[in-house]
Structure 1
Amino acid sequence: MSVTFPRRSVIDVLEDIANGIKMDLPDGASGFPVVGPVTDEQLRATPVPVAGPLTDAQLRAAAVAVSLTGSATSALQTTGNTSLASLLAAGPAVVVGNAITRVADVLPYLAGDLIANNLTAGSVTPITLGAARASNLPVQLRRARLTVSGAASPWAGATVRAHFYSSSPVSAVGDNGVFQTPVAGYLGYMDITLDQTRSDGVFGAGAPGAGGEITTLPVASGVNVFALLETRSAVTPASASIFTLTLEVWRG
């Protein structure tokens, strides 16, 4: 059996190419040209415009708005990162502790004695410093500054050692006793030489005794670290001098 195809002119063939080649489709479907740029209508059952900026509705089955301002929820941020302000607080910071007023006497100190606000061991108040940016986040203690009040201060040129703790320390002695604290929670120390005399007191700064910084977590479920002061020099103090400790920290 032989089949004879009708003869077609070159013009007929060129017209077919210009009009696009039709595809054989199932019954009920309509063909479409495949020449030229393919349109969104050809690709989708329901056309969705793709020109211009895409909207949230086009990208999501259900639009979900996420706010970056105000308080965040635990589903969006981990504990400790409860707000955008908290995130921005990471990095270097300066933290000033509560001032300590030593007892109102002029009893001489020997090197190694505690400098405190009370003569009774159980009543000694440590210095509290809000070092971390949020609860349970790490912090590095990099440098300490200390000022002692009073013109012509007898502390000029003396060295004071600041001891640091991750929990509130309980001193075994009161002011002017030989420095003693438990090892629990102890982080390290910084020696501060009060070598800068000013009209209203003396000032000094120091760094950790070992290493470039002291890296620690703050007190459990809090942001604080604590400090006690020990004199490393023999000094006959002025009555009721005020000691103010400042920390330079890096907050994680």
Structure 2
Amino acid sequence: MQVAIVTVGDEILSGDTVNTNAAWLCEQLNGRGVDVGRITTVPDVVADIARVVNEYRAEYDAVIVTGGLGPTHDDVTVDGVAAAVGRSVEPHEAAHEWLTEHGGYAAEDLVDGTTDLPAGARMLPNEAGVAPGAVVEGIYVFPGVPTEMKAMFEAVADEFSGEATYTTVVDVDEPESELIDRFEAIRERFDVTVGSYPGDSVRVKLTATDEAVADEARHWLSERVELVDGAVDREQA
């Protein structure tokens, strides 16, 4: 399964808010064997949201959109997603019912627009907040507040699945540029993908669909590199 993530918010683009939602979603999806092909941040502009979501829904099995839910003036994600799939936005009966019967809100306390969703969408209850999410034509719309987004994703997590992968890690005390020959050799010898992340040392991640292959590749590489002092080759969940 391949997924694209779209985060919505001027506050992310201005640097006022760190995009932790995308990182958390990638971790969860990768852990379920799902490939994330794109992460894109767009402003609170209906046309921009619609354009990007429409493009990605044609290329990916699912699109996750976070941020911009609610009835305030800059919460335009629902309008953008509805435009992407050619649907109107209208009050959602199930959302209204859930908020008044399970969410603890009186109908007269709900701000106009709180329960508006794309026509025909499946409503996702917001167990940690107010604004409901939605699923429509493979597009999953979640709130931007991290606690609300996480709770909503976890409620539908089983709808995201793929081939399980296994990752092992080797911490290497050599310049990344000097490891190229061994990276090439390990790719030829084992069915693994290799990721290298330089810092104080080079963190090498080996990923395979077979746990035994990942482990064997880890041992093979560890015998052919300078390990960080005191480091041992290790597995990563």
- Range class of TM-score, shorter chain: under 0.3
Give me the TM-score of the superposition, normalised by structure 1. Answer: 0.20
- Kindly indicate whether structure 1 or structure 2 has the higher relative contact order, using CA contacts under 8 Å at least 6 residues apart: 1
Higher relative helix content: 2
Give the number of the structure whose alpha-carbon radius of gyration is greater.
1
